[in-house]
Amino acid sequence: MGSGCLKVTKYFLFLFNLLFFILGAVILGFGIWILVDKNSFISVLQTSSSSLKIGAYILIGVGAVTMLMGFLGCIGAVNEIRCLLGLYFTCLLLILIAQIAAGVLIYLQRDRLREELDMIAGNLIQNYNPYDDKNRTLENAWDYVQLQLSCCGWAAPENWKNNTFLQDGNQTSYPCSCGNDSTNSLSETGFCSLGTVSNTTTVEDWPVRKQGCKEGVQNWLQENLGIILGVCAGVAVIEVRFLPQQTHTHTHTHTHTHTHSFIECILDGWILYLEARDTRCVSSTHQHCSSGPIITVLCSCGGF
């Protein structure tokens, strides 16, 4: 019974921490992507939104600590290193606190993020100028958004009425990335000429898509943030379920019986394994072991 429980303990801890290592890599990668991606609307947001930057750094920190925790847990489980397991439990608690903080921050800042989206998109459209290299990266990102989401403007194409370049006598042009004709390619940026067949300078008659990008961008953010928050929530639930049981030691007597859950059995088996290993004697010396009191654990593992 004891050997079976010890084997389950060792393999379970290894697989559990390997899963945490993978989840940490996913969270870390998502946070880095928010900061470095230059080909989507994220690049527009992260230059102006302090909330998004803070959230990205929190994700990077949580992901890095999760990976470290998984690594320490795997090494500690395989090599039975008690100090690494102690550090593992500490990292587990820190990650749980950070995940709760990140979730609360995102929830409390959701209205502010919407306001920042409106302000950022409005300023970008107003100052859009393909002949000015100062904001070329942001402008290319906005063109990418309009092309990918098949939209024009923020709330509607009429937002382009506020564009400084068009107001300076260039209203015979329209944003190429807004065009609704099938000849537009994903590489088109800047302004396109209305041509001789069009004698109007009003936005309403532009050959562009009539749907704004606001709804599409917000849906995109909700979907992507929903994925990462779902991962964080799943990890947090696992941590809440396992942390109290993994950090609690049980002392029993031979005359008192207790009913153990499967996880309690795994932890008790691990404690029994470490205590037996620490107090092991070399039989040829016939010496008495006195490394300290041994915690006697009666592990009831169902089939073990």
pLDDT tens digits for range 164-186: 888 876 567 888 888 876 444 44
Structure-model confidence comparison of residues 209 and 303, the more confident one: 209
Structure-model confidence comparison of residues 126 and 228, the more confident one: 126
Does the predicted model carry a pTM greater than 0.85?
A: no
Task: Residue 19: name the closest of 277, 254, 235 by CA.
Answer: 235
Residue 78 predicted with pLDDT over 60:
yes
Per-residue pLDDT, 152: 92
Residue 195: left if φ>0, alpha if ψ -120 to 50, beta else—which one?
left
Per-residue pLDDT, 4: 60
How many domains does the chain fold into?
2
Q: What is the average pLDDT value for the chain, to the nearest integer?
A: 68
Residue 274 predicted with pLDDT over 50:
yes
Assigned domain for 224 exists = yes
- Are residues 11 and 56 both part of a single domain? yes
Residue after which a domain boundary falls, among 160, 188, 212: 212
Q: Report the share of the chain in percent with pLDDT over 70.
A: 56
Are 157 and 178 in contact by the 8 Å Cβ rule? The answer is yes
Per-residue pLDDT, 181: 65
Helix (H, G, I), strand (E, B) or coil at 186: coil
- Are residues 162 and 229 both part of a single domain? no
Mean per-residue pLDDT, 124-133: 84
- Are residues 108 and 169 both part of a single domain? no
Q: Of 52-56, 260-264, 300-304, which has the strongest mean pLDDT? A: 52-56
Mean per-residue pLDDT, 138-154: 85
